[in-house]
Structure 1
Amino acid sequence: MLKIDRQKFIEKELHMYGSVLISDMSLKLNCSEETIRRDLKDLEAHNKLKRIHGGAFLPDADDKGAPTYLRETFLSKEKEELASYTIKNYIKENDTIMLDCSTTCLTLAQQLFITNIKVTIITNSLRIFNLFGKQSSAVKLIAIGGSFRQRASSFVGYQATDALSHYLADKCFISCPAVDLTHGLVDNNLNESQIRKSYIEHSRQHFLIADHTKFSDTADYVITKLENINLVISDRKLPEVWEETLKNCNLPIRYC
């Protein structure tokens, strides 16, 4: 198939489903995954899509984040290692914790569900709500409602931030879309950035759990400065510029 025909097919799939996986396109078009990667790179250069590791999606003008089901396919092993390390070292019995709507925090919740640690979770994530609705668990769940954001399966808006204002958690765990050298934690969605900001305001300790790719990405909405975080947890050693930046902010980093 010619390049122009492949790319037209990819665009059609994107407009039909909102996102595509490289592996799926490779099978459907009977070509290598590397060929699909080049096609996606070309299409992104023409502002036809937004690439993500493993696929691509159509960003919305007001919501540039990748859909949850697409993000779940990316770095699943690393997220499991981050979650396991975090639970082992930074979550204790009877803690009250806040978890955002990231797939990293969803993985953290899944491991809490399996280990059955007695904690209270406050979250705006529908995926986490559904996880603990399956069967009896030692976890106490507090659901933060509001306007439903389909792309992230989360609840946002003034109802959500107002509800959060009534709580004070021991710890919050944030895994935002990107971390910026100058501006700190940043988000793809304004409403979601306000939720994450509220988690930080209404918790005693603030943990950033971020795989290495988030330190080379960017986003549009500021959540908080690095100085307002107590600890960074990542999956592999960061570039020297990041190590130096975190050191200057007196912000320790731990690798799982």
Structure 2
Amino acid sequence: MSQTFRHPEILEIARTDGKVTVEGLADHFGVTLQTIRRDLKDLADAGKLERVHGGAVLPSGTTNIGYEERRWLNQEAKTRMAGVCAARIPNNISLFLNIGTSTEAVAQELIQHKGLMLVTNNMNVANILVQNQDCQIIVTGGHLRRTDGGLIGTIAENSILQFKFDLAVISCSALDQDGDMLDFDVQEVSVSRAIIRQSRKVFLVADHTKFSRSAPAKIASLADVDVLFTDRKLSPQLLAACRGWNTEVVVAESREGI
């Protein structure tokens, strides 16, 4: 396996376990300790990990990882969550999809939906749903973030405020154990808050890696979300909090709400 394929998986293991060890990764991939040390050095030089004795840990949560890397990270789970989420999205509604690889996966599952009026601040989502001839597409405008095709800033926010959506499907960069949705870009956070405010119902799509990450800016709480779609069971404490907020939790693996 080349380092191109090892690096995303190393990062996923780090987010799941909190850290990685040289010996553990060498056993996992069936390569030499020296090969793993080179991988960790490359990831540390890129700012994606911090080296510690015997391995590496995630860096402090102030910047997001690259878009291409996020696209491949936990891809199978994202596809599974997207399918379950899309099955809950009716035809003939107004729908918002925001920035993120998870929402792009949902867009892929909506190509056969009928009568959608889609509004998005994600150029990738718009390009995906061009394939759906029965989907009206409105792009918000705004400052284009070239790294991921996201439209952010005041223009995007003001565009959103002109609508009242039947449903919004959103993603976030991180989720903490208090149930707060977090992100890295303050301009994107303002746009996400406007999306939530202007939507009658909100779905959040977030795989388990989001629960082991941190980001500095709070978007909102899971209390503001109607349904959370994820790929692994929540901690008992967070699940109890979601029940108290009347936030439904759907685990894609089990295909049923809990």
TM-score when scaled to structure 2? 0.76
What does residue 223 of structure 1 align with?
219
Q: Partners in 1 of 2:98 and 2:225 — Cα distance?
A: 15
Map Cα deviations across residues 11-51 of structure 1 (whole Å, 9 max, x no partner).
xxxxxxxxx76359x9xxxx93976655555677x785124
- Quick check: 1:68–1:153 contact (8 Å CA) kept in 2? no
Q: Partners in 2 of 1:231 and 1:174 — Cα distance?
A: 11
What does residue 101 of structure 1 align with?
99
Give the total of aligned pairs. Answer: 225
The farther-off stretch of 123-132 and 169-178 is 123-132
Label 1:50 to 1:139 Cα distance change in 2 as closer, same or farther (>3 A).
same
- Quick check: 1:22–1:33 contact (8 Å CA) kept in 2? no
What does residue 132 of structure 1 align with?
129
Map Cα deviations across residues 104-133 of structure 1 (whole Å, 9 max, x no partner).
1101111112x2432111111111122234
Map Cα deviations across residues 152-179 of structure 1 (whole Å, 9 max, x no partner).
2111110000111100100111110111
Label 1:169 to 1:35 Cα distance change in 2 as closer, same or farther (>3 A).
farther
2:68 is matched by which residue type in structure 1?
Y
- Quick check: 2:179–2:238 contact (8 Å CA) kept in 1? no
What does residue 15 of structure 1 align with?
none
- Quick check: 2:178–2:238 contact (8 Å CA) kept in 1? no
- Quick check: 2:91–2:114 contact (8 Å CA) kept in 1? yes
What does residue 50 of structure 1 align with?
48
Q: CA deviation at 1:195?
A: 1.4
Map Cα deviations across residues 61-112 of structure 1 (whole Å, 9 max, x no partner).
9x72222221111111111111111111x21111111111111110111111
Q: CA deviation at 1:213?
A: 1.3
What does residue 26 of structure 2 align with?
none
2:6 to 19, 22, 42: 22
Label 1:159 to 1:35 Cα distance change in 2 as closer, same or farther (>3 A).
farther
Q: Partners in 1 of 2:32 and 2:171 — Cα distance?
A: 28
What does residue 72 of structure 2 align with?
73
Q: Partners in 2 of 1:169 and 1:203 — Cα distance?
A: 5
Matched ranges for 1:207-218 at <5 A: 207-218=203-214
What does residue 119 of structure 1 align with?
116
Label 1:176 to 1:157 Cα distance change in 2 as closer, same or farther (>3 A).
same
Q: Percent identity, please.
A: 23
Q: CA deviation at 1:220?
A: 0.8
Q: Partners in 2 of 1:159 and 1:47 — Cα distance?
A: 36
Label 1:109 to 1:158 Cα distance change in 2 as closer, same or farther (>3 A).
same
TM-score when scaled to structure 1? 0.76
Label 1:33 to 1:245 Cα distance change in 2 as closer, same or farther (>3 A).
farther
SS of the residue 2:118 aligns to? strand
Q: CA deviation at 1:255?
A: 1.2
What does residue 190 of structure 1 align with?
186
Q: Partners in 2 of 1:130 and 1:136 — Cα distance?
A: 10
Label 1:136 to 1:97 Cα distance change in 2 as closer, same or farther (>3 A).
closer
- Quick check: 2:91–2:113 contact (8 Å CA) kept in 1? no
The farther-off stretch of 227-236 and 160-169 is 227-236
SS of the residue 1:145 aligns to? coil
- Quick check: 1:99–1:173 contact (8 Å CA) kept in 2? yes
1:96 is matched by which residue type in structure 2?
S
Q: Partners in 2 of 1:120 and 1:139 — Cα distance?
A: 6
Label 1:42 to 1:127 Cα distance change in 2 as closer, same or farther (>3 A).
same
- Quick check: 2:228–2:248 contact (8 Å CA) kept in 1? yes
Map Cα deviations across residues 216-248 of structure 1 (whole Å, 9 max, x no partner).
211111101222111211112122232233233
SS of the residue 1:151 aligns to? coil
SS of the residue 2:167 aligns to? strand
Q: Which runs of 5+ in 1 are unaligned?
A: 1-9, 11-19, 52-58
Q: Which runs of 5+ in 2 are unaligned?
A: 11-29, 50-58, 253-258
